[in-house]
Amino acid sequence: MIINGVNIDKTFAEAFPMKATRAIITAQNEKWAMIAAQAMTGFATSVIACGCEAGIERVLSPEETPDGRAGVSILIFAMGGKGLAKQLETRAGQCVLTSPTSALFAGISGGKAIPLGKNLRFFGDGFQISKKIGNKRYWRVPVMDGEFLTEATTGMIDAVGGGNFLVLAESQPQALAACEAAIEEMRKIPNVIMPFPGGVVRSGSKVGSKYPALGASTNDAFCPTLKGITNTDLSPEIESVMEIVIDGLTKEDIDKAMRAGIQAVCNLGSGNGVKRISAGNYGGKLGPFHFHLQEIMA
């Protein structure tokens, strides 16, 4: 398949099941809601070493938030429920509780309830106040700037992590420009995050390493500087490869995001140095979710 001169490989991205939750952070204004959200989703690019994958889903208008203030919606993904709950609580405690004027709310009402502010309340040292409004419990924790308001729990649901595609270009600037265009479009899709810095990862990995202690190592087949000395997957004109990884609440959400991203890359076309779109997989052995590029773009 060729779109606007860009070759779409007949391959698939392989993704695996994860647990996910959404939290809504509000603050006095969008600036401070974003600061808290960025702190909470920081150091969360990959479950390999961060414990979770997290990102900002979108900015919320005051009409969309529970307390009528500016807000930001974030998604957090982890391999298991326990790990997710731990990451959520730690991050909420260190990054949102501490952030001026912030409040924290559940972003998913269904699924299994996991603690959001339920245990953060103990920071209140006995001065915390519970308020049950409707069927939701909130905690008011006295802090130095006033009160930190948080919902007690949020919902945890099954999700999908590790959707991806690779952008192969004639130069590094061209690969990055294509990925930036893709991320801009993909951020418009709800229920997904691209957890790597700026949404783009330049160090895609393969499973395994020559060093026994490492479970993953550089994807040498896609490293342009190794074209002559390894079993490369790159043609001579490819000088740079970048990857976009997508975590989503459902397979369909990732489908939509991949389609939007690949389309944006193809819109730039081969004239802008983009030559190929490929994807990372492990032969279908790792994850049950397969995203076939040509089917997505059909």
Q: What is d(CA 70, CA 36) in angstroms, rounded to the nearest whole number?
A: 12
Comparing CB distances to other proteins, the nearer of 135 and 225 is 135
Rounded CA separation 241/264 (Å): 16
63, 110, 132, 197: which one contacts other proteins (CB under 8 A)? Answer: 132
| Cβ at position 69, least distance to other proteins in Å | 8
Instruction: Report which residue type is found at 170.
Output: E
Give the residue with the Cβ less far from other proteins, 46 or 150: 150
Nearer to other proteins, 43 or 127 (CB): 127
Residue 35: alpha-carbon gap to chain centroid: 17
Q: Cα–chain-centroid distance for residue 169?
A: 24
Q: What residues does 72 pair with on adjacent strands?
A: 25, 59
Comparing CB distances to other proteins, the nearer of 87 and 102 is 102
Residue 283 within binding range of other proteins, rule CB under 8 A: no
Q: Does 213 bind other proteins (CB under 8 A)?
A: no
What the block records as the tokens of 86 is 């731990």
Q: Are the beta carbons of 46 and 197 closer than 8 angstroms?
A: no
- Does residue 61 belong to the site contacting other proteins (CB under 8 A)? no
Chosen residue from 49, 63, 133, 197 binding other proteins by CB under 8 A: 133
DSSP assignments along 64-95, one per residue: GSTTSSEEEEEEEEESSHHHHHHHHHHHIIII
Our CB check for other proteins shows the closer of 129 and 207 to be 129
When the beta carbons of 131 and 188 are compared against other proteins, the nearer one is: 131
Selected from 29, 94, 109, 130, the binder of other proteins by CB under 8 A is 130
What are the angstrom distances between the C-alpha of 165 and each of 11, 142, 245, 258? 10, 46, 7, 7
In angstroms, what is the minimal distance from the CB of 96 to other proteins? 13
Which residues make beta-bridge pairs with 7? 2, 276
Query: Mask: binding to other proteins, 87-126, rule CB under 8 A, as x and -?
Result: ----------------x----------------------x
Taking the CA atoms of the chain, what radius of gyration do you get in angstroms? 21
CB 76 within 8 A of CB 87: yes
Q: How far is the CB of 103 from other proteins (least distance, A)?
A: 5
The residue type found at 108 is I
Record the tokens describing residue 115, joined without a space: 């603690």
Count of helix runs (H) and strand runs (E) in the chain: 5, 17
Looking at beta carbons only, is 110 or 134 nearer to other proteins? 134
Residues 239-268 that bind other proteins (CB under 8 A): none
In the complex, minimum distance from the CB of residue 134 to other proteins, in angstroms, rounded to a whole number: 5
Q: Is 229 in the site for other proteins (CB under 8 A)?
A: no
Instruction: List residues near other proteins by CB under 8 A.
Output: 66-68, 103, 126-127, 129-134, 138, 140, 146-147, 149
